[in-house]
């Protein structure tokens, strides 16, 4: 997981003077429990605030953000865990998985906190 801070704000979050975090998750090709998968990279965007970034890092490090979807008996694909609302476009609105989406910040933080708590993982700012 790598984080890049962009100067521009996301649509709907213009008052957030800290900008935007572009968070990239990179996975090398590999195998898990006999299921092989190809390398994959994902990027999502969140308003530049340490709280969601740190929650995402904790969830990523504990294996909660992604799943391996079985395609064939010994073949899989890394996919987003759809229990979390990821925004992968800076523009286009919620119908296009982008901003502006005024409720995204609260939804992602609430979903991450609930999932961490359900997994028995403690998070303190």
Distance CA 113, CA 88 (A): 20
Q: Tell me the per-residue pLDDT of 42-101, one tens digit each, with 9 for 90 and over.
A: 999 999 988 888 999 999 999 999 999 999 888 999 999 988 889 999 999 989 999 999
pTM: 0.88
Helices 104-118 and 50-61, axial angle in degrees (round to 10):
40
- Domain assignments of the chain as residue spans, ordered by start: 2-118
Domain 2-118, second-level architecture: 2-Layer Sandwich (3.30)
Give the residue carrying structure tokens 């605030």: 49
């Amino acid at each position: 997981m790598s984080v890049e801070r962009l100067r521009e704000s996301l649509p709907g979050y213009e008052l957030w003077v800290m900008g935007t975090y572009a968070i990239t998750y990179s996975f090398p090709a590999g195998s898990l429990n006999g299921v092989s998968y190809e390398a994959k990279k994902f990027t999502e965007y969140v308003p530049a605030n340490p709280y969601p970034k740190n929650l995402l890092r904790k969830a990523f490090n504990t294996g909660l953000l992604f799943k391996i979807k079985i395609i064939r008996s010994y073949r899989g694909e890394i996919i987003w865990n759809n229990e979390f609302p990821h925004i992968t476009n800076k523009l286009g609105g919620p119908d296009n998985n982008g901003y502006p989406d005024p409720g995204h910040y609260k939804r992602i933080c609430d979903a991450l906190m609930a999932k961490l708590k359900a997994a028995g993982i403690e998070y303190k700012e």
